[in-house]
Amino acid sequence: MTKAGVAAVAGATLMLAGCSGDNGGGGGDGGPVDLVLAGWSLSTTPEFQVLVDGFTEQNPEVTIDVLEYDAANYDTQLTADLAAGSAPDLYPLKTVTTLPTYQEGGQLVDVSDVASELSGDILGVDAYVVDGATYAIPYRQDAWFLYYNQELFDQAGVDAPDGTWTWDDYVAASSALQEGLAGTDAKATYQHGWASLVQGFANAQAGSDEKFLAAEWDYMVPFYERALELQDAGAQESYGTVTTNSLTYQGQFGTQKVAMMPMGSWYVATLLAQQESGDADTFGWSFAPMPQLDDSTLDAPITQGNPTAIGINPAIDEDKLDAAKEFLAYIGSEEAASELAAIGIMPAYTTEAVAEVMFGLEGVPTDDVARTAFSAQQPVPEAPVNSGTPPLQTILDDAHSEIMTGNISPADGIAAAIARAQDEVLG
């Protein structure tokens, strides 16, 4: 269901009962409970329906509808609905760094009672703790992989990533791929337009929370220099082409326009689904750990990767609160994790049994390098979870587009961003 479609079914009891603040559909007397969960990109992000189906199968008295928001404007639209009192009962925090905004705005229920009952095998819970209270329960723990097309590597005569690459190796491989694929429509690699493709890895591998929050961002300069080097050499599409033509990373990798691509673990599920539907080509592919600054971290590679959690809207009808908390307890369980792993999503609950479900999927690569990427990488949030992060990220987003379009050099662009942060945010 899309937001635009809500008006068309406004007369339906189920949907009206699910809206926050509505007095219908309560379950205080043991009767049916109707909830609404926010989501995005439902056609390519099956995790929401998988979680809903798994929970409602066990709890048939509960109905949960998934309300689709625009992925690119999720927080803007959700914030507006929360302010208007029309937001869903349950909503994911699409980016962990937005937690302070919602929590400080009084827009999340304290779910410490749910968190206290979770297994120690679940990752990311601490990211949603503020002053000792937990405000959301993670169901997913993303980690970024280096996806690669084995057939294009073979065609170019280049060795595939083996889990020992540094960024220098990545650049060298890009150059070799560019030469080996000359005369074809394929480029060596693809960097999507998001600032996190540069800044997230810089923060995870070269920065620290303290440096980020103090706007000491010089460590980002080499990451930008490398991105521009690959862009200028033609090894990857230019930032201007990516943004102006609204290129999608799914289309670039899935239709074999690139030999490799850094992207999040969620893309495993998307690629499997698109290959099955025909929206992506059928070809041999796998993924490897992300390149590292040097060989000192190869045994436990550092990557960026955020948890994704779901919280409860405080405007929820009191009679629905218990059911909403039961849903959060379910998404933090091993059973839910296995359901997510079964569609290629990397869950927050991590055990060897869950990993075996993931690698038992038809089409998922099972080589040792892919298993290392799944189990050995150490995901670090792309930016600190702090109330000071959003305004700093706004400044860095502006710097990203200026640098990647060539309007300013990486060193000058980061220096300007630092000065702006000191002036506008840090005082």
The tens digit of pLDDT for each residue in 156-177 reads 999 999 999 999 999 999 999 9
Which tens digits make up the pLDDT trace of 31-74? 899 999 999 999 878 899 999 999 999 999 999 999 999 998 99
The mean per-residue pLDDT over the stretch 105-125 comes to 94
State the number of CA atoms in the 13 A half-sphere of 168 facing the CB.
3
Read off the pLDDT of each residue in 93-111 and give the average, rounded to a whole number: 95
Distance CA 130, CA 134 (A): 6
| Spatial distance between the Cα atoms of 102 and 100, rounded to a whole number of angstroms | 6
Q: Note down the domain range covering 33.
A: 3-142+308-350
Tell me: do 22 and 74 sit in the same domain: yes
CB 288 within 8 A of CB 146: yes
**356 found inside a domain:** no
β strands within 19-178, DSSP E: 33-40, 62-69, 90-93, 129-130, 133-134, 137-141, 144-149
- Helical ranges in 206-333 per DSSP H: 209-213, 221-232, 239-244, 249-254, 267-277, 321-331
Residue 352 has a pLDDT of 86
Residue 367 forms part of a structural domain: no
Q: CA of 266: how far to CAs of 29, 154, 344, 354, 424, in Å? A: 39, 26, 7, 15, 35
Does a structural domain hold residue 135? yes
Residue 10 belongs to some domain of the structure = yes
Q: Where are the beta strands (DSSP E) in 290-337?
A: 302-304, 307-312
Q: What is the spatial order of strands in the sheet that 62-69 belongs to?
A: 62-69, 33-40, 90-93, 307-312, 137-141
pLDDT 10s digits, 409-423: 999 999 999 999 999
Token pair for 355: 């990993």
**Which pTM value belongs to this model?**
0.81
The verdict on 50 and 75 lying in the same domain is: yes
Pseudo-torsion of CA 26, 29, 33, 35, nearest 10°?
Answer: 50
Nearest CA to 21 among 83, 111, 80? 83
Separation CA 192–CA 292 (nearest Å): 19
Residues 255 and 325 in one domain: no
Shortest CA distance to 134 belongs to which of 118, 146, 149?
118
Q: Are residues 57 and 91 in the same domain?
A: yes
Amino acid 7: pLDDT: 33
Give the residue, 6 or 359, on which the prediction is more confident: 359
My answer on whether 286 and 153 are in the same domain is yes
User: Is residue 369 in a domain?
Assistant: no
Residue with tokens 């799914």: 250
Number of domains comprising the chain: 2
297 and 329 assigned to the same domain: no
**Structure-token pair, residue 173:** 């491989």
Q: Is residue 377 part of a domain?
A: no
Token pair of 304, please? 């960026």
- Asked if 97 and 60 sit in the same domain, the reply is yes
Are 214 and 417 spatial neighbours (Cβ–Cβ below 8 Å)? no
Six-digit token pair at 361?
Answer: 């999927």
| Together in a domain, 134 and 151 | no
205-247 pLDDT, tens per residue?
Answer: 999 999 999 999 999 999 999 999 999 999 999 999 999 999 9
Domain CATH for 58: 3.40.190.10
Same domain, 37 and 72: yes
Same domain, 284 and 148: yes
pLDDT at 135 over 80: yes
Query: Residue 118 pLDDT more than 90?
Result: yes
